Structure 1
Amino acid sequence: MSTRPGPAADRGGVAADAEKLVAGLLRDPWGRVAPSVYESARLITLAPWLTGHAERLRFVLAAQRADGGWGPPGGYALVPTLSAVESLLTVLRADEAGSPPAVRRTEVLASVERALVTLGGWLGDEGPNVPDTPAVDLIVPALVEAINVRLDRLPADSLTPQARTPLGLPRGMGGDRLVGVRRLIASGARVPAKLAHSFEVVGAAAGAPPGVGPGRLGTVGASPAATAAWIAVAGAARGARSHLRELALRQGGPVPCPIPITVFERAWVSSGLARVGIPLRARRELVESLTAALGPTGASTGPGLPTDADTTSVTLYALGHLGAPVAPESLWGYDTGGHFATWPGEDGASVTTNAHVLDAFGQHLATRPAAESRYAAVVHRLSGWLRDQQRADGAWHDRWHASPYYATACAVLALHEYGRGPALAQAVDRAVDWVLGSQRPDGSWGRWSGTAEETAYALHVLLGLGRSTRGRLAEAVRGGRAYLRRTAGRQPQTALWHGKELYAPAAIVESVTLAALHLAASRAELESSAAPF
């Protein structure tokens, strides 16, 4: 990240950093995602034969928090903590059977003891709410079931009575859906493509269902855990084994998820940079890869995942900015009549998916007035739907990101640029007021603490509307820009994106901060007569 002084130099430094970032995307088609406790722990259980087993075990043990849990604050810790505990109980069982230990048994027992006591409190009626992360209503019951089975088989004197108490499910969650999915797979019926991403929950006795298996790269569902589970039930799986081995070697043992994220990463990075006017020199390569990702039902995040409206919309929007527009016809398949589903049959609805769909339709309509009769009605409908999802405080929240700053930035920019209909200006004003009122004393923004990513989203809201920066707004921008210049690229990224557990897509986060710094420097140049930034 460039640290050169002065607004003009900042813009030049940001452009150079953006060029390096995009070049890195094209060199590494798998994408950059930090190691996952959940996925690494699943491999400890499902693939102890895989290279890096000891390193994964040490990674999981080292990641445990002082309170006995793993992962982010609140209910987001439940899935990684359950996964870690189940894997450590598996290690204890293997140790009893005579397998050579990778770490001291006493260390594993102490870790399990602390975690189980903590889980007992979380899974009671007073425990934290469980966030709406992908497949959580399958993953949590499956892991609770497995932990209770392993506890029952553990010698009675291994743990204290409090730690050995069988775990229950969180309030409001049952196991019926997991039972139904397992029955569906055991029947031999074809299952929804999205289930491949969490195939590890179905159990080894289910067999390999039609339609679930490794793709061209060897991954099942863009998930190491799902791939390992498929290997366990499918037998010969040379391509899948090779994929896991390469991934483990690349990461030094621990593994990320989701991976690969080729289209997701390239679409979000290129569209975000282009939206604020940062030049992209690798246009031809980006256009070719993004165009190739589009099919009759749109684009998917990466190999092994089904197509979805979110990735499709951002891919279309990126191609429009790259000078290679594609008509958004593939999006109609996700239209529910009210909003657009991320995929057909989605439970719930996503603000950011619909903001991105509005971007795609709005951009196409803005450049092709002759398409008014085809797309105007859906632009009006999406504008009204997004407006109606705004919270009372002026923010938006979403199911694909833990931070309201991401959802708010997506909604505000789409409504400002392409929205049609009544009361949109008032909605945007309320969002700006919420951002201004939630800034932290150090100039940052963030849900749990200040982060560069969330500060960048806040600056996109404040600077992406083309408004003059004076008074309170100018002060907020100065503080946010100073925070980004101190921290962006110099601190570990905070996991905020919804996967099976929270994760951070590193290149996307970097692009968001670069775009915010570019906006701030550009505005400083335009308003050089104002108070210095």
Structure 2
Amino acid sequence: MAKLLAHHEVSLQVDELLEQVGQYRMSACAYDVAWLARVPRWDTPGALLFPGAVEWLLANQHGDGSWGASIALAHDRVVCTLAAVVALAHLRERDPRVEEPLRRGASFLRQRQATVDTTNDPVETVGFELVVPTLLEEARAFGLRLPTQRWEYIRRLRAEKLQRLPPGTAYSPGTTLLHSLEHLGTGAVPALARRAQLPNGSYGASPSATAFALTLYDDPAARAYLQQAVASTTQDGGVCDVFPIDVFEYAWTLYNFRGLEAQRPELKEHAAALAQLWKPNGVCFTSEWDLTDGDDTAIAFLVLQRFGHRPDPVVFHLFEIEECFACFALERNPSVSTNAHVLEALTACPQTTAVEQMCHKARTWLLDAQAGDGFWRDKWHASPYYASCQAATALASYAPEALRRTLRWLLDAQHPTGGWGMQDGTSEETAYALETLLAVAPWLEGEEQDRCREAIGNGVDLLQEHLPDGHQPELWVGKALYTPYTVVQSAILGALCRALSYLQGQGARMYDAPTPAIAD
């Protein structure tokens, strides 16, 4: 009876969440807020366009002097604190309140604790190697004594990356460099920057890049874009890391609610909206940018297939590289989740020779990327539970032995609370762990099956106990860590639906099983 009641409670929350799809709710990001705090009012000398951003920085400094996500990871804390310190240095002559937070932030960056040791942090934020050297130069110009030699390796990475690019690439809407336009610093050429502006007024759909442009010149479209981004984030002066995220939010939410299509006619309406955003060469996280990426393309492809659309798998050749599939051109490191999503999408396609070859490529690379303990890590999410979930879902019908190691890792890593993840466990990471167990459950027997079922039950208890929980920690990786609230909540609710069905004997999955494996 308790489980039936839980199904009803989950159903009500699914209803509520589906009404929020399209609002692009995201957490505020200290890195982007710091850039927002530097934007002047060009019609009023000495005034700021977003004074609320300064208030946000003053109110959201951590006790150790840093800024960043609630879970301390080095890349995020360093880039957020560095951006905040430089922003406050710009303001120290007009606002005496910033002096003490500025001193504490600089002191944090000088320490030698793990929270500033980026060499041992696997979660590298987007554009870190581009923006950190620029911020360090600004800090030096303000006389802030920071241990710049500690990040000398970042300067080398930046130099190597930029050396490979044709002149003018930084201003091209066709590359991800536009998303980190602020790395140009004092070397930016305003006339070239203006030419790179997207139709919605942004630069690379990035509030921080757009704010940087507004420190160079006034632009009504850029101002309007930032005001929209602020309005979509919080009511306290903060701003999100990327905006808008229409493709990402529609695609991931529909993917997380797989199996509920017949029960939820509104899902079909959202799928129709996603279909309107689909292009033959793929999609990006936002429809406002003509750039495409392999991850959003694969998830959107998979979702559209499930709703009766027939996108052409030839699109994945556009992301195919020598050993695997790329998310973006020019990226330094391939993505586990991108290759897992490509494999999952291709597995659901008619198995032509070309499709089989692409499946083999993605599958081989994923198996090689697995850690010895059985888990995976990904560049787009801080938690190994996310990456492992995506890989296990894609590989479930192909590689039971590899996933047996994943199973042992999960069973050993479960907290006494029943959850998984950082600290005492989070609802989001617990949801991904449950999905992974559901992916391997169909081929388990005996004691393994019993342990798996018990672990799923304990995980379900934790998720039910914490429902509703709309304030998940920032685990998604952008230029800093962030939480896409609707996407995360759909992952939790979707996992709960499938886990409850499994515990009630309706099977591990509420949707059709993947196409049988093709022998290599």
Q: Of 373, 379, 390, which aligns to 1:410?
A: 390
1:286 paired with 2:270, answer yes
Aligned partner of 2:512 in structure 1 is none
1:319 paired with 2:298, answer no
What is the root-mean-square deviation in Å for CA atoms of aligned residues? 2.9
1:456 paired with 2:438, answer no
Write the distance in 2 (CA, Å) between the matches of 1:413 and 1:176: 34
1:55 paired with 2:37, answer no
Alignment of 1:187-336 (within 5 A): 190=172, 192-208=174-190, 209=192, 213-233=196-216, 235=217, 237-250=219-232, 251-252=234-235, 253-275=237-259, 279-302=263-286, 303-304=288-289, 306-336=291-321
Aligned partner of 2:373 in structure 1 is 393
How far apart are residue 14 of structure 1 and its match? 2.5
Check conservation: 1:178, 1:202, Cα contact below 8 A.
no
Aligned partner of 2:510 in structure 1 is none
Check conservation: 2:127, 2:479, Cα contact below 8 A.
yes
Write the distance in 2 (CA, Å) between the matches of 1:9 and 1:325: 38
Check conservation: 1:444, 1:451, Cα contact below 8 A.
yes
Aligned partner of 1:78 in structure 2 is 78
Superposed CA offset, 1:63-94 (max 9, x none): 2111111224131311111111111111104x
Which 4+ runs in 1 deviate beyond 6 A? 49-52, 123-126, 182-189
How far apart are residue 472 of structure 1 and its match? 2.0
1:143 paired with 2:135, answer yes
Letter in 2 for 1:81: T
Aligned partner of 2:505 in structure 1 is 526
Q: Of 114, 117, 130, which aligns to 2:107?
A: 117
Write the distance in 2 (CA, Å) between the matches of 1:87 and 1:188: 23
Aligned partner of 1:437 in structure 2 is 412
Write the distance in 2 (CA, Å) between the matches of 1:176 and 1:458: 34
Q: 1:239 to 1:433 in 2, by over 3 A?
A: same
How far apart are residue 306 of structure 1 and its match? 2.0
Write the distance in 2 (CA, Å) between the matches of 1:478 and 1:464: 15
1:337 paired with 2:344, answer no
TM value normalised by structure 2: 0.86
Superposed CA offset, 1:384-424 (max 9, x none): 2111111000101111111000000000000114x4xxxx1
Write the distance in 2 (CA, Å) between the matches of 1:481 and 1:325: 35
Aligned partner of 1:161 in structure 2 is none
Letter in 1 for 2:473: T
Where 1:108 maps in the other structure, the secondary structure is: helix
How far apart are residue 501 of structure 1 and its match? 0.5
Check conservation: 1:122, 1:128, Cα contact below 8 A.
no
Write the distance in 2 (CA, Å) between the matches of 1:389 and 1:466: 22
Q: Of 341, 344, 348, which aligns to 1:359?
A: 344
Aligned partner of 2:26 in structure 1 is 33
Q: 1:66 to 1:335 in 2, by over 3 A?
A: same
What is the number of equivalent residue pairs in this alignment? 489
Aligned partner of 2:360 in structure 1 is 380
How far apart are residue 447 of structure 1 and its match? 3.1
Aligned partner of 2:513 in structure 1 is none
Letter in 1 for 2:29: S
Q: 1:486 to 1:133 in 2, by over 3 A?
A: same
Letter in 1 for 2:124: D
Check conservation: 1:191, 1:210, Cα contact below 8 A.
no
Q: 1:229 to 1:123 in 2, by over 3 A?
A: farther
TM value normalised by structure 1: 0.84
Q: 1:196 to 1:188 in 2, by over 3 A?
A: closer
- Identity, % of aligned positions: 29
Q: 1:38 to 1:470 in 2, by over 3 A?
A: same
Write the distance in 1 (CA, Å) between the matches of 2:30 and 2:290: 21
Q: Of 3, 6, 14, which aligns to 1:10?
A: 6
Write the distance in 2 (CA, Å) between the matches of 1:63 and 1:22: 30
Alignment of 1:488-527 (within 5 A): 488-490=467-469, 492-526=471-505
Where 2:296 maps in the other structure, the secondary structure is: helix
Write the distance in 1 (CA, Å) between the matches of 2:487 and 2:161: 36
Letter in 1 for 2:73: G
Aligned partner of 1:531 in structure 2 is none
Q: 1:190 to 1:261 in 2, by over 3 A?
A: closer
Where 2:440 maps in the other structure, the secondary structure is: coil
How far apart are residue 42 of structure 1 and its match? 0.8
- Structure 1: tracts of 5 or more residues without a match: 96-100, 153-163, 366-370, 529-533
Aligned partner of 2:155 in structure 1 is 174
Where 1:40 maps in the other structure, the secondary structure is: helix
Aligned partner of 1:368 in structure 2 is none
Superposed CA offset, 1:8-28 (max 9, x none): 2333432342233223214x3
Check conservation: 1:43, 1:228, Cα contact below 8 A.
yes
Write the distance in 2 (CA, Å) between the matches of 1:149 and 1:491: 41
Write the distance in 2 (CA, Å) between the matches of 1:519 and 1:411: 18
Letter in 1 for 2:143: L
Write the distance in 1 (CA, Å) between the matches of 2:506 and 2:284: 41
Write the distance in 1 (CA, Å) between the matches of 2:167 and 2:386: 36
Letter in 1 for 2:279: G
Q: 1:221 to 1:187 in 2, by over 3 A?
A: closer
Check conservation: 1:194, 1:305, Cα contact below 8 A.
no
Check conservation: 2:319, 2:325, Cα contact below 8 A.
yes
Check conservation: 2:206, 2:241, Cα contact below 8 A.
yes
How far apart are residue 275 of structure 1 and its match? 4.8
Write the distance in 2 (CA, Å) between the matches of 1:126 and 1:452: 27
Q: 1:63 to 1:525 in 2, by over 3 A?
A: same
How far apart are residue 178 of structure 1 and its match? 6.0
How far apart are residue 237 of structure 1 and its match? 2.4
Q: 1:52 to 1:240 in 2, by over 3 A?
A: closer
Where 1:493 maps in the other structure, the secondary structure is: coil
Letter in 2 for 1:120: R
Question: Which shows bigger deviation, 312-321 or 166-175?
Answer: 166-175
Q: 1:135 to 1:380 in 2, by over 3 A?
A: same
Q: 1:353 to 1:85 in 2, by over 3 A?
A: same
Q: 1:364 to 1:225 in 2, by over 3 A?
A: same
